[in-house]
Amino acid sequence: MNQINIQIKLGALDLQVQASFANEVIIISGENGAGKTTLLRCMAGLQACSGSILVNDKVWLDSAAGFALPTNQRGLGFVWAEEVLLPWLVVAQNIQLGVAQEDKAWLMQVCEQLEIAHLVKRKPAMLSTGEAQRVSLARALYRKPSMLLLDEPFSAQAPDIRARLRKVLKNMQQTLAIPLLMISHDAEDAKALAQQHWRMREGKLIISINRHSHAGGNPHFENIGE
């Protein structure tokens, strides 16, 4: 089980989130300024906060004890809305950047699944926005992370590719058996992927719904973008 209980004040934002989750897909929605990205940054250790974070029974944060596990020791895979690729490296090098031991078979499996295998020798300047976004997602998955944190990872994708990527991401999450927290305003993302829906407003988790407890379907999943 994974648990978070964190607080932080950043200007007008007063973030206070308490939640627990298994190795499942969680879709996070809410209006701009609700604290969604700040929540993911706190999970990643990129934003200092108080409270506690426990992932797979390992302590990532215990501010009362003065402990915060460094980001590079959390084994994360993440995609941020503003994330960029290094322009002097080809796609394959960008994906494998920072990984100690290369795994070419896994690299090609990930690239084929994300429909970028034909791009591995190209530099970022030769990619479309959607292709570059899929490269960023491939980089996150290639690490076989302990958790995936994704901020609108499909925002630049055409509808047909987006539909295929949902299936790929779900299969990858199940294969790796890890929690996946994903910010999205797309109701289709929620219906295809989510086991939980967290809806945020003004830094608070105002709705937390577990799909398994609503087997007959739930309007909060259907209307996630509203």
Give the structural domain span for 192: 2-75+145-222
| Section 123-142 average pLDDT | 96
Does residue 14 lie within any of the structural domains?
yes
- Quick one: pLDDT at residue 197? 92
DSSP 93-156: HHHHTT-SS--HHHHHHHHHHTT-GGGTTS-GGGS-HHHHHHHHHHHHHHT--SEEEEESTTTT
Nearest Cα residue to 26 out of 144, 157, 141, 182: 182
Other beta carbons within 10 angstroms of residue 155's beta carbon come to 15
Alpha-carbon distance of 142 to 156, in angstroms, equals 20
- Quick one: pLDDT at residue 84? 84
- Quick one: pLDDT at residue 20? 93
Question: pLDDT tens, 48-102?
Answer: 999 999 999 899 999 999 999 999 999 999 999 877 899 999 999 999 998 888 8
Does residue 118 lie within any of the structural domains?
no
Q: Dihedral sign, CA of 64, 74, 132, 155? A: negative
The overall average pLDDT reported for the chain is 91
Alpha-carbon distance of 45 to 85, in angstroms, equals 21
Does residue 89 lie within any of the structural domains?
no
Does residue 64 lie within any of the structural domains?
yes
- Quick one: pLDDT at residue 215? 42
User: Above 90 in pLDDT, residue 222?
Assistant: no
| Section 147-166 average pLDDT | 95
Does residue 134 lie within any of the structural domains?
no
Q: What is the CATH number of the domain that holds 66?
A: 3.40.50.300
Does residue 108 lie within any of the structural domains?
no
Does residue 8 lie within any of the structural domains?
yes
Alpha-carbon distance of 36 to 215, in angstroms, equals 26
Better-scored residue on pLDDT, 123 or 214: 123
Question: pLDDT tens, 184-201?
Answer: 989 899 889 999 999 999
- Quick one: pLDDT at residue 187? 87
- Quick one: pLDDT at residue 210? 78
- Quick one: pLDDT at residue 219? 44
| Secondary structure, 3-state, 77-106 | EEECCCCCCCCCCCHHHHHHCCCCCCCHHH
* Per-residue confidence band for 151, with pLDDT thresholds at 50, 70 and 90: very high
Structural domains counted in the chain: 1
- Quick one: pLDDT at residue 100? 82
Place of tokens 């209980």: 5
Question: pLDDT tens, 5-41?
Answer: 999 999 999 999 999 999 999 999 999 999 999 999 9
- Quick one: pLDDT at residue 224? 44
Does residue 121 lie within any of the structural domains?
no
- Quick one: pLDDT at residue 126? 96
